[in-house]
Amino acid sequence: MNKQAAGILHDFKARGILQDMSGPDATVTRIDPVDECTPDSLVFVDSDKFVDAALAAAPAAIVTRPDLAGSFSTLAKTAVLTAANVRLANALLRQAYDDRDFRATEWPRIHSSAVIHDTAQVADNALIGPGAVLGRDVNIGKGTVIMANTVIEEGASIGADSILHPNVVVGYNCELGDRVEVQSGCIIGMEGFGFAQDEERRSHRIPQRGKVVIEDDVVLGANCNIDRATYHETRISAGCKLDALCHIAHNVFLDRDCILTAHTVIAGSTRIGKRMLASGQTGILDHLTITDDVVLVQRAGVISDVTEPGVYAGLPLQPVKDYFRNTAVAQQLVELRKRLRGVEKELEALQKRA
């Protein structure tokens, strides 16, 4: 990085990420975990269990909580920076100084093997990788990177400073905002699963002619699938983060800043409120409404509306405290059954004697 710690402090203190600094100015050339750091490293210490390792390594700079800062007062050559949220400081400092530069490509700005329709509009500083295909009336914004073998169908638009990794498909007329990251294997805007059955239960396709809208600052993990809407739009609102292998069906509305971890599935026409967090393998049925600030854990299965914020688990869905109590009881069912059978036999014996 070759950045002075004082310069880092100035930039990030102004943004409220860092609060203060003690110790000398220090030259930082790398960011490392505590157990692998060098005297030139910046490290993050958000727990007292890492304090001894940091003291032994004496790195160039430490970002830590205010209540732990005094632990490092003996390190004469180490700058100690404090942050109320060390994990957030880690994320933003590494984005600024230790992230992959997707624009540092080994290829020309527009690779000769890319297929770009004459009507497509590509901003002057956008990058188009080998084998990419841009259809009719596609629009690519400033600073956006389209990596190898990605296909963007006709009428689709991608905003500024977005990154589409290799082998992504963006369907016709779909819209992606600014600073969107789409990882390899994602399919955006394929036809939703819509069929009607006749009297003999043969299935007949219902055309899905809507689109997908993905707002700013969304991340889609590898191999996610976002279905286009039947008529209007499937929408992923700003700030949402999806882990790998999530499936969002047609007409779903996902409000701002939701987090979906791997294998989450949301069925068609369901509306999700702000800041929902779904742990792995969560399943949500169609045509439901989930309010803001809901957390779904333990392979939650949602089969009816969720109207109150809170933490829920299991199938049928229940508040997480009830879920753990019921799970504990379920583990004793065999023993309880044996005891019940014993009580029944004793009652039968008493009745005979009576």
Q: Is the pLDDT of residue 306 over 50?
A: yes
Span 37-66, pLDDT tens digits: 999 999 999 999 999 999 999 999 999 999
The answer on 276 and 187 residing in a single domain is yes
Active-site hit among 247, 250, 263, 287: 250
In a domain, 158, yes or no: yes
What percentage of the chain reaches a pLDDT higher than 70? 97
Please give the mean pLDDT across all residues of the chain: 93
Q: What is the mean pLDDT of residues 70-95?
A: 93
Same-domain status, 89 and 228: no
Is the pLDDT at 2 greater than 70, yes or no? no
Q: Does the pLDDT at position 104 exceed 90? A: yes
In a domain, residue 108? The reply is no
User: Both 81 and 125 in a single domain?
Assistant: no
**Sole residue written with tokens 């030139």:** 40
Residue 333, in any domain of the structure:
no
Q: Do 128 and 253 lie in a common domain?
A: yes
What value does the mean pLDDT take over residues 4-14? 68
Predicted confidence (pLDDT) at residue 3 exceeds the cutoff of 60: no
Return all residues near 158 (Cβ < 8 A) that are at least 6 apart: 138, 139, 140, 141, 144, 146, 152, 164, 170, 176, 180
pLDDT band at 5 (very low <50, low <70, confident <90, very high): low
Average pLDDT over residues 281-305: 97
**Which position has the higher pLDDT, 21 or 63?**
63
Tell me the Cα Rg of the chain: 27
Tokens of 38: 């060098």
> How far out from the chain centre does Cα 192 lie?
22
Same domain, 236 and 123: yes
Domain identity same for 25 and 169: no
The mean-pLDDT minimum among 147-161, 163-177, 206-220, 320-334 falls in 320-334
296 and 158 both lie in a single domain = yes
Mark whether 44 and 123 lie in a shared domain. Answer: no
Top-confidence range, 1-5, 246-250, 347-351: 246-250
The answer to whether position 56 is within a domain reads yes
- Identify the pLDDT of residue 348: 85
Check whether residue 122 and residue 191 sit in a common domain.
yes
Looking at the fold, whether 89 and 121 belong to one and the same domain comes out as: no
Helices (H) and strands (E) in the chain, counts: 5, 39
Q: Is 250 a catalytic residue?
A: yes
Q: What is the mean pLDDT of residues 172-180?
A: 98
- CA–CA distance from 116 to each of 133, 137, 152, 156, 173 (Å)? 6, 10, 10, 13, 16
Q: Are residues 192 and 233 both part of a single domain?
A: yes
Nearest to 80 by CA among 93, 71, 91, 89: 71
Domain that includes residue 270, residue range: 115-325
pTM beyond 0.85: the answer is yes
Among residues 301, 292, 252, 256, the alpha carbon closest in space to that of 273 is found at 292
Domain assignment of residue 337, yes or no: no
Domain CATH code at residue 36: 3.40.1390.10
8 falls in which pLDDT band (50, 70, 90)?
low
Strand partners, 241: 219, 259
351 or 212, which is more confident: 212
At 224-251, the pLDDT tens digits run 999 999 999 999 999 999 999 999 999 9
Written as one letter, the residue type at 328 is: A
CATH number for 254: 2.160.10.10
Instruction: State residue 1's pLDDT score.
Output: 44
Distance CA 316, CA 229 (A): 28
In a domain, 85, yes or no: yes
Q: Say what the pLDDT of residue 9 is.
A: 67
DSSP label at residue 269? T
Split into its structural domains, the chain has a count of 2
Residue 250 domain flag: yes
**Is the residue at 106 inside a domain?**
no
Model confidence at 4, in pLDDT bands (50, 70, 90)? low
How far, CA to CA in Å, does 171 sit from each of 133, 150, 195, 236, 260? 12, 11, 20, 15, 22
Same domain, 156 and 59: no
The span from the CA of 60 to the CA of 38, in Å, is: 8
